[in-house]
Amino acid sequence: MKKHHWLAGKKIAPAPVTPGITARELIDNAFLAYNGGRLREACRLFSEKMLAEDVTIGLSISGALTPAGLGCSCLIPLLEYGFVDWIVSTGANLYHDTHFALGMDLHQGSPFVDDVKLREDEIIRIYDVLFHYSVLLDTDKFYRELIMTPPFQKTMGTAEFHYLAGKFLDARQQALAGGSASQSPSSLLIAAYRAGVPVYTSSPGDSSVGMNVAAVALQGSQCKYDPNIDVNETAAIVFDATRGGKSAILILGGGSPKNFVLQTEPHIQEILGLPDSGHTYFIQMTDARPDTGGLSGATPAEAVSWGKVDPTHLPDAVVCYADSTVALPLLTAYALDAHAPRPLRRLYERREELMAALRGSATTR
């Protein structure tokens, strides 16, 4: 019987899993179908195409990933290897990330507990992560004191806000380590500061960090967020990436951060009227469905209709319907094994240059 072209794919005949197998070997050999297959595709797309020298990689983070330790275990290594060039995160992830920078304790627990009793004992629960109420109060105190310092007394974008916070936290960590700058960063904010990775928050008022900014404004603080800066800076990063190279997006979860990294292309094309084709590469880890109208589940094909994703590269778009707390460690382990570190782009330090290029193109169209 003549072999049909539909059957040109590799035959499913995996070898048994053995002791000592690496994460990369496991994914390549045992993740062959369904969302396991999509995770394998995502790992290969990330390692073989997105990590090329001419690709600028944006990361969006939603869901409570940092309190589960994924900032320390997975996100920091990606930054240090040069595998992430810019970030859009919920404010909550950065707020809880600060607990680690300040040396506070979060503990593994159980979701099957009496929350009324937890409230009486001043214990906070994020599903099965438990910590004392004082962790929130002490982190709030840190931010209020930090925001009242002179460097914060102005209007700024969230990337500058987080850079200044990371700078202070890094200095604090070094002081506690006896002045050693070689100690591994204890938080994502510190790692981003050291790597020159700009970190944006698409809804800065929607977190405890934003609430503390609002609180000190009642006391006369001049610290203010300007969302226009964030919209234009992120578009400038993508515009620069696609002039002589490619833009890639890695999306963990969905929500506002997902839309913010993707809306860079409609801002460039629709609003500013500049020619572009959309992001080249797209990976999303999500547990949401597209048919319920939730932004978290919007597919790459749908994003093509908005100009967010380049239609000629739609095969280079993978949606893996899996919990980020499961998929991200596997993706990180695979990438670190499969690809050498990339030179850091240090986009934070290039913001003015990138903005000048975008501004010049927008005014001469």
Distance (Å, whole) CA 189 – CA 287:
26
Which of 2, 141, 167, 308 is an active site residue?
308
Distance (Å, whole) CA 229 – CA 221:
20
The residues near 55 (Cβ < 8 Å, ≥ 6 apart) are 49, 241, 245, 246, 247, 248, 280, 281
Sheet of strand 107-108: strand arrangement: 107-108, 129-132, 123-126
- φ/ψ of residue 299, rounded to 5: -85, 160
pLDDT of 315 reads 85
Strands 199-200 and 55-61: unpaired
The residues near 117 (Cβ < 8 Å, ≥ 6 apart) are none
In DSSP terms, 224 is beta-bridged to: 155
Q: Are 173 and 97 in contact (CB under 8 A)?
A: no
pLDDT of 282 reads 94
pLDDT of 288 reads 87
pTM value > 0.85: yes
pLDDT of 113 reads 96
Paired tokens of 254: 């969905």
- φ/ψ of residue 113, rounded to 5: -130, 170
The pLDDT profile of the chain, 365 residues, written as one tens digit per residue, is 566 788 888 889 999 999 999 999 999 999 999 999 999 999 999 999 999 999 999 999 999 999 999 999 999 999 999 999 999 999 999 999 999 999 999 999 999 999 999 999 999 999 999 999 999 999 999 999 999 999 999 999 999 999 999 999 999 998 887 766 678 899 999 999 999 999 999 999 999 999 999 999 999 999 999 999 999 999 999 999 999 899 999 999 988 999 999 999 999 999 999 999 899 999 999 988 888 876 666 788 888 888 888 888 888 899 999 999 999 999 999 999 999 999 999 999 999 999 999 999 987 66
Distance (Å, whole) CA 7 – CA 52:
30
pLDDT of 216 reads 97
Per DSSP, the residues of 19-86 read TT--HHHHHHHH--SHHHHHHHHHHHHIIIIITSTTEEEEEEE-SS-GGGTHIIIIIHHHHHTT---E
pLDDT of 1 reads 56
Q: Are 167 and 137 in contact (CB under 8 A)?
A: no
Task: Please give the helix or strand (H or E) that residue 282 lies within, else none.
Answer: strand 281-286
- φ/ψ of residue 266, rounded to 5: -60, -35
Q: With the C-alpha atoms ordered 179, 183, 186, 189, is the resulting torsion angle positive or negative?
A: positive
Q: What secondary structure, in 3-state letters, does 133-176 show?
A: HHHHHHHHHHHHHHHCCHHHCCEECHHHHHHHHHHHHHHHHHHH
Q: Looking up tokens 């020159």, which residue turns up?
A: 196
- CATH placement of domain 44-363: 3.40.910.10
Respond yes or no: is residue 308 known to be catalytic: yes
Distance (Å, whole) CA 79 – CA 147:
26
